A and B are shown apart, each in its own frame.
Chain A
Amino acid sequence: MAPPEPLLAFESVSKSFGAVRALSGVSFALGKGEVRALLGENGAGKSTLLKALSGAHAPDSGAIRIGGEEQRFGSTQAAFRAGIAVIYQELQLVPELSVAENLLLGQLPSRAGLLDARARDARARELLARLGLEIDPRTRLGSLSLGQRQMVEIGKALARGARILAFDEPTSSLSQRETERLFELIRELSAAGHAILYVTHRMDEVFAVCTSATVLRDGALVKTFDRLDHAPRTAVAAEIVRSMVGRELSDVHGWSARDLGAPRLELRALEGPGLAAPCSLDVRRGEIVGLFGLVGAGRTELLRLVYGVARSTGGRILVDGQTVKPRSPRDAIAAGVVLAPEDRKKEGIVPVRSVLENINLSARRRNLKLGSVLDSTWERDNAALHIQQLAIKTPSPATPVRNLSGGNQQKVILARWLSESIKILLLDEPTRGIDVGARAEIYRIVQELARSGVAVLMVSSDLPEVLGLSDRVLVMREGRISQELARREASEEEVLRHALPLDEEVPA
């Protein structure tokens, strides 16, 4: 019996932007019901491949076949009509409209030219049932959680008869439970015969939901794993990581013991928005404390209180034993407290300005000549020093920072704070969306900072990262600190047990 025609096939797809070859001769195929992980570091070509699939970029050469037929998409609409839906991190939904209108966006049922509201709601209910969402189709989309909105986006694709769904890091803003729900849905779609392409950075997700994997590096296909269950998981994972980075990564965190000093940051019964109970914690000189919790547990809110973005309503913050009352980030910086925020694009970088300016954004006001004139020599030297020390990959210091990869943008933000004399570094999801190679470098930088005496408080929902990098782990649950664990006590199970809502059983 001849093998069935694959549902989706890439045949020697190539694409260049100017002199940069983003994709060179990528070929692979997906059958019905297959869930294929698409892996690779940033800049490996994953997004370009997704964009070729979605019709946003036409390949320079090669073909994309659907059910054996070559497709020439002139636009994203054409790709959509061919049964392809790409679910990006930024959802293509209208928050002001109802769930039903979003699900049926562009294809609302009508009778005699008038909107048929009953048919709309019936159709929407049908889709919501399929998605396992128990919400009224007339709910305003904007009032849903991010996870629910993502489900609506998937429903929108199904409403248009999509057979091939591609996901671009779909779990990056989902809670644990929402992630589980998404995985279930993907398994159902797979069972119903859809082909799924799943872009991710996270190895645990590959094994949780994917049936096969393809690894890209520098625009070329390095290796395809047709089955992920043929060998022990750790061996397959090591093989995947090796093909992604082209080198062995035994321990990306590279943790080693450090001398800890006196407490640098002390929170005493701190109260404020987002916290359900007064929070107390210490971070010592040279220590890295990981703060784990599910989305909404109050981790980011706690950092924002310490950084003066939000006002505390009670309790005290002490830096090196001195009480500080930060009323703005400016006050916090003056006290030696800095933050590398969670959403780098929105809160970290100034995208249109240069790498040099982004590095010097804060410290330049403390390095002036004649009292008020910027010192361009200092600016140039300081930027050059940190670009070199942190190995920031940029064509020049004058390049707009938006042209850099996520990992290098994060390094620019760290360089900004290394230019100041800091005591306490607050990190919020320091490696979200950053590839394996750059992650390892960021871990190295953070540990060097700690070794130099800085106290680091790191919020992360990446459990291996928290366990791998922290000297001590604090777990938050529902707005309060639920547990403190020393490095040797902190296991995945133990941390999760204190992070999950109380009424839930811990999965074995």
Chain B
Amino acid sequence: MTNRIWQRAGMLLVLALLYAGCALFVPHFSSWGNTEGLLLSVATVGMVSCTMLFCLASGNFDLSVGSVVACSGVVAAVVMQKSDSVIVGVLAALASGAFVGLVNGLVVARLSINPLITTLATMQIVRGFAYIASSGKAVSIAHESFFELGNAYWLGLPVPVWTCALFFVLFGFLLSRTVFGRDTLAIGGNEEAARLAGIPVVRTKVAIFVLQGLVAAFAGIVLAARMTSGQPMGSQGLELEVISACVLGGVSLTGGVGSMGAVIAGVLIMGIVQNAMNLLNVEPFWQYVARGLILLGAVLFDRLRQSRS
């Protein structure tokens, strides 16, 4: 029983200890200003983690999200320039993300191509299109109303933080309380058994990738609104940050296991460590080392936990 509580709450406990430790020893960490900045800094990773959780839980993988985030920002900026309409720009960006997801999904699910290879390919293709569409330079946006999406405040917190929180709730519900979510876990747990139990495996997988593309595109739109421009070179390595956060949150890379609560904990742990290192003036180069060590530690910790149960 204690084992089960530990399994369920392990990461939350680590999160609580980490937060308490930082609050005690890192100057300015618990100030409101810093808390707000911390939450805003995890918003992009947080949103994309929601659908990455589905992707990993179904036994798949998506490396293209970083490129989709950058590309959708560029698409939004370019289309807004050309059409002079915020709505058209946003819709075009969302459509571009959904399209990339659809391609990923169809190739992986229909043609049974390894998702790692598939999304490694689309990651580069999409990044290329982001540069092509922007001629390699940041595309500035002139629509003030669009910036609201990234910079407005609501009840004392920036809108992206609220959006991210909404996604956590929405996708958490989707995973645990709907057939789609549970089918996702069953497919990750044993795809053949899921198919023979009448689960629409191909359709579910395609839906997961399309959702992933849509959410990454949405995160890219919000980021563009914060930056007031679409940046083709942005969000490099975001896919690794997102996957790290999910793995830290106990999502099994072999599929079938994952929960939203733990992923939120994983996202916050990564964010807090990053934030604390910034406050402590740790050199950026060392921050890479620290992040890698944390991920390695989390995986070892997970192995230890599994071998004990």
Contacts and interface: CB of A to CB of B under 8 A. Distances in A.
B264 interface: no
Contact of B192 (A347, A357, A416): A347
Contacts of A364: 179, 182
Nearest to A401: B189
A130 to B, nearest CB: 38
A357 B186 contact: yes
B190 A329 contact: no
Nearest to B189: A350
Contacts of B194: 350, 361
Given A353-B189, A357-B182, A348 B177 contact: no
Interface in A353-385: 353, 357, 361-362, 364-365, 368, 372-374, 376
A481 interface: no
Given A329-B198, A330-B200, A373-B177, A347 B193 contact: yes
B175 to A, nearest CB: 11
A383 B242 CA distance: 36
B182 A374 contact: yes
Given A372-B178, A373-B178, A351 B200 contact: no
Interface range on chain B (Cβ under 8 Å from partner): 20 to 34
A269 interface: no
Contacts of A341: 196
Q: Give the interface centre of A332, A349, A350, A362 by most chain B CB atoms within 10 Å.
A: A350
A334 B194 CA distance: 15
Given A350-B189, A352-B256, A416 B178 contact: no
Interface of A, secondary structure class, is: mixed
Interface of B, secondary structure class, is: helix
A179 B86 CA distance: 73
A247 interface: no
B196 A309 contact: yes
Contacts of B195: 328-329
Nearest to A360: B182
Contacts of B178: 372-374
A349 B196 contact: no
B256 A350 contact: yes
A350 B110 CA distance: 22
A350 B57 CA distance: 13
Contacts of A357: 182, 185-186
B197 A361 contact: yes
Given A346-B192, A364-B179, A333 B198 contact: yes
B197 A351 contact: no
Contacts of A86: none
A376 B196 CA distance: 23
B123 interface: no
Given A330-B199, A351-B190, 19 more contacts: A328-B195, A328-B198, A329-B196, A329-B197, A330-B198, A332-B198, A333-B198, A347-B190, A347-B192, A348-B193, A350-B186, A353-B256, A361-B194, A368-B179, A372-B178, A374-B177, A374-B178, A374-B182, A376-B177
18 contacts: A328-B195, A329-B197, A330-B198, A330-B200, A333-B198, A349-B193, A350-B186, A350-B193, A350-B256, A353-B186, A361-B186, A362-B197, A362-B199, A368-B179, A372-B178, A372-B179, A374-B182, A376-B177
Interface of A: 307, 309, 328-330, 332-334, 339, 341, 346-353, 357, 361-362, 364-365, 368, 372-374, 376, 416
Interface of B: 177-179, 182, 185-186, 189-190, 192-200, 252, 256-257
The 4 closest A-B pairs by CB, nearest first: A350-B189, A333-B198, A352-B256, A350-B190
